[in-house]
Amino acid sequence: MNLQEEKNNPAEYTDENGEEEYRSELSENMAALKNLPIFSGIPYEIIRLFAYTAVRKIFSAGDRVFRQGEMSEEAYLILSGKVRLYTETHQKSFPLQVLEAKDFFGYMALLAQYEWPLSCRVLEDTEILLLERESFRKILTKFPEKCILVAERLVQMRMKRMKEHMQVLMEEKESMEKIGNMF
């Protein structure tokens, strides 16, 4: 496959005077995505399709990104701003992690639909890049052997996270219940 150098990216627009140079949203998405671990070793051309099909969304402080129990449809990459994950049990919510720019989460949604085990709310005005499972599947069917790699990365990332959580569990036996609810 012909791998394009990013410099030749035609989406970088130079107007006829050559004075101002703007980047298209596509190339900005590209810049955000290409360094994600899940895309390491993936041909440029395929990452660009992900960048092309990704959707940008702006949330205002307090907006909910998704809610516990809702069906998962997409993975999230924070471009700017901050979000908080929390669980909701018996009308009470327990704040968990805070995520910020460059954090990539909810990525298992790319592989399968499931109920979100926790909720996500933005803490300040936040821009998030959404990778939809539908797009992921479409691309997967076009380049199966490459996208299997992506799937592999996703599972590996997940396993690594799980190991970390196990560690936390072992260390804090008292808070077992609380964290157990997370999964």
Partner 1 sequence: MITQKPLFYWVLHRNRLFQFFLLLLVGLGIFFRIFPLEMQKRIINTAINLKKQNLLFLYCGLYIGAVILAGLLKYAVNVMQKHLGQKVLAEIRTGLYQHILLLPLDFFRRTQPGTVISAMSSELATIGHFIGGALVVPITGILTLLTFAGYMLHLDFRLGLVSLGVYPLELLILPVLQRRYNELNMQRIDTTRSMNDLISEAVSGIQEVRGNAGHKTESEKIAPYIAGLFSLAGRMFILKYGIKWVNNLFQNFGPFLLFLIGGYLAIHGDFTLGALVAFLSAYEKIYDPWKEIIEYYQDFQDAKVRYRRVMEYFDIVPESDGKEECFGPVKGKLEVQDLNYSINPHTQLLRSISLHLEPGEHLALVGFSGSGKSTLALLLGKLYPCGKGQIRLDGRPLHTFCRKDIARNIAFVSQHPFIFNGSIRENLLYGCRSLALLEGEEAALPMPDTSRMEEIIRETGLLDDIMRFGFDSLIDEKKQEDLLRNLYKMRMAVRQRLMKESRQAVEFYEAGHFLHYVSIYQNILFGDIRDAAFSPENIAANPRFLSLIRDTELSDTLMHLGLQLAKETVLLIGNVQDDDFFFRGTPVLPDEFDLYKEITEKVRRDKELEQADKTRILELALRYIPARHRIAAMPRSFAQKVLNARYRFIQEIGKSDVRNCLAATEEFMKGENPKIPEPAKNKNYTMFCPVQYLRSHTLLENILFGTPRQEEQIRKLRNIVADVLAGEGFSAALINAGLAFQVGSKGDRLSGGQRQKIAIARALLKESPVLIMDEATASLDNASQARIQKYTEKKLRGKTGLVAVIHRLDITSSFDRILVLREGTIVETGTYAELMEKKGIFYELARGEK
**Position 20 contacts partner 1 (CB under 8 A):** yes
Q: Taken in order 50, 103, 71, 130, is the CA torsion positive or negative? A: negative
Tell me which residue has tokens 């970390």: 164
Give 23: exposed, middle or buried? Use CB within 10 Å, 0-12, 13-18, 19+: middle
Of the listed pieces 92-100, 120-128, 136-144, 171-179, which binds partner 1 according to CB under 8 A? 136-144
Instruction: Report d(CA 132, CA 140) in Å as an integer.
Output: 12
Contact with partner 1 (CB under 8 A) among 3, 5, 16, 171: 16
Instruction: Report d(CA 47, CA 34) in Å as an integer.
Output: 7
Question: Which CB, 49 or 182, lies closer to partner 1?
Answer: 49
**Position 97 contacts partner 1 (CB under 8 A):** no
Nearest to 31 by CA among 16, 44, 19: 44
Report residue 12 CA to chain centroid gap. Answer: 24
Residue 82: other Cβ atoms inside 10 A: 16
Contact with partner 1 (CB under 8 A) among 5, 6, 7, 24: 24
**Position 70 contacts partner 1 (CB under 8 A):** no
Contact with partner 1 (CB under 8 A) among 22, 124, 160, 162: 22
CB of 5 to partner 1, least distance (A): 12
- Find the radius of gyration of the CA atoms of the chain: 18
**Position 12 contacts partner 1 (CB under 8 A):** yes
Question: Which CB, 48 or 121, lies closer to partner 1?
Answer: 48
Instruction: Report d(CA 118, CA 95) in Å as an integer.
Output: 10
CB of 80 to partner 1, least distance (A): 17
Question: Which CB, 13 or 114, lies closer to partner 1?
Answer: 13
- Binding site residues, partner 1, CB under 8 A: 4, 10-13, 15-16, 20, 22-27, 29, 45, 48-49, 52-53, 58, 134-135, 138-139, 142
